[in-house]
Amino acid sequence: MSSKSIIDRRRGPKIDVVTGLTKDDDVLVVGLIAPGTDDDRPDARPTLLLSDDLLDDAAADALDEALAALDASGKKGQTVTLPAPAGLPVRLVVAVGLGSVAESQDAENIREAAGNALRGLDGAGTVVSTLSVADLTAAAQGSYLGAYRFDEYRSTPPAKAAPAAVSLVVPQKTKQVKAELEQAVIIADAVALARDFVNTPPNDLYPGEFADRARAVGSAAGLTVEILDEKALEKGGYGGILGVGQGSSRPPRLVRLTYAPSSARSKVALVGKGVTFDTGGISIKPAAGMDHMTSDMGGAAAVIAATVAAARLHLDVAVTATVPMAENMPSDTAQRPGDVLRQYGGTTVEVLNTDAEGRLILADAIVRACEDAPDYLIDTATLTGAQMVALGTRTPGVLGTDEFRDRVARISQEVGERGWPMPMPSELRSDLDSRVADLANVTNHRWGGMLSATLFLREFVADGVGWAHVDVAGPAFNAGGPWGYTQKGGTGVPVRTLIAVLSDIAAAG
């Protein structure tokens, strides 16, 4: 996929709002709410989530009877597909369980239900969904991302394509409703853009090409773009980025994307790890699962996509993304365990393990980002396997300055990306002391690896900056089966968190 096609590619279906069904509609997606636990009637049935007057009484009763015959319970996560009963102007009905009344009001639950429905509708025509009756934004995002596919490298197109259009049922098509829908789709498309970056194989997405694609999407959104090549990096003293990239025949880059509305009162720096492939270098990784390291630029993908979205959403906050890009390869030119690097800004680091490379390129980028005197700095990276040991594969770890860390984690939970606040115990800091340099890039033990990696990064954050580090080593890439609106491969986490934090800062002034 070229730089141009990443702009032109349709990443999700066209999403619109409607007030009713038409004879041209193909599939109706309807939410199903489970009976309450206090309902002791033996014949208690789940409740259909419908807008007023969407179906007449006869059609609604026929659908209710058909679902009862198939034992549709409304249990969260259950999906039941059936031919449309007589009286409905559609071919199929997909009923998705929303759980209890309380669960049916949870935005993330609606997003996942919409995703579950759309993932199973390849080959369908126009889809109409009632999930928007509960939450328009969640239904739009779940539908868009549930229909996301990455088929760019298949030699023949899929026999059945994902739905090209989804209509969401609303009471009225007001300006406010249309504005909410537009915002929801912009955010979903940003998540899908990050997925595209992560899903592109590393033979095509190497540092130079990644930088070109970042320039393409940034320029299309009206961002100011600056790219430093290997010569500019050497002249500028970016020892961390150069050290990690020196083992590859494909040299590193540093990309800067700037969105600067004139009325912004706050300035936010975003930094994302962009290791386009990570072998571990001389400290080479085991072969099993190394193909997943195509996702080691998931943090970079997220901050590029979030900065583009900030511009498309016209957020009243200044945002600069500083994105280091390198390929970590073993070769006769690769850095060695025991080498000492001079990071941008002058700090020296002893490289004890070349597979702890992400923190080296992030350190350079953080120092550069802090030169812009931001009020806040968020860095995100697929940084440590210890994140998965501590929190699993779906929960990002959030660390940093206490107040901003907690703010980012709270917002992440609110948008459904589940970031969890973690500490930085002071006693771990001395384990980063080096025998010969200012710092070592790893400790001499395996305990608290996510925490000590963040303590390393803290050394490069300027005083007075509200800072959060988001470790997405597991959440950025789904190596298992699909669920909800999440396919296998790149997930786009933590794009929605970043956009929501930027929106929160903009609203606060």
Alpha helix (H) residue ranges in 341-384: 358-370
Catalytic member of 111, 119, 312, 359: 359
Nearest alpha-carbon partner for 132 in 157, 107, 149: 107
- Do the Cβ atoms of 131 and 155 come closer than 8 Å? no
Residue 394's CB is within 10 A of a number of other CB atoms, namely 15
Q: Assess whether 285 carries a catalytic annotation.
A: yes
Cα separation, 268 vs 376, in Å, equals 5
**Cis, bond preceding 494 (omega within 30 deg of 0):** yes
- Do the Cβ atoms of 202 and 161 come closer than 8 Å? no
Cα separation, 257 vs 216, in Å, equals 11
**What DSSP string describes 39-93?**
---TT--PEEE--TTSS-HHHHHHHHHHHHHTT----TT-EEEEEPPTT-SSSEE
Nearest alpha-carbon partner for 266 in 323, 322, 319: 319
Alpha helix (H) residue ranges in 371-401: 385-391
Catalytic member of 285, 342, 394, 488: 285
Contacts of 174 (CB under 8 A, 6+ apart): none
Q: Is the dihedral of CA 291, 218, 498, 116 positive or negative?
A: negative
As to burial, measured by CB atoms within 10 angstroms (0-12 exposed, 13-18 middle, 19+ buried), residue 119 is buried
Where would I find the beta strands (DSSP E) of 279-317?
Answer: none
Q: Write the CA distances from 373 to 256, 269, 294, 344, 463, integer angstroms.
A: 15, 9, 33, 16, 10
Q: Supply 78's token pair.
A: 């259950």
Q: Supply 385's token pair.
A: 């396997």
Q: Is the dihedral of CA 119, 120, 126, 132 positive or negative?
A: negative
- Do the Cβ atoms of 185 and 140 come closer than 8 Å? yes
- Do the Cβ atoms of 377 and 271 come closer than 8 Å? yes
Q: Assess whether 359 carries a catalytic annotation.
A: yes
Q: Supply 481's token pair.
A: 């089966």
State the amino acid at position 315 in one-letter form. Answer: L
Q: Write the CA distances from 9 to 147, 200, 295, integer angstroms.
A: 14, 13, 20
**What residues are labeled active site?**
285, 359
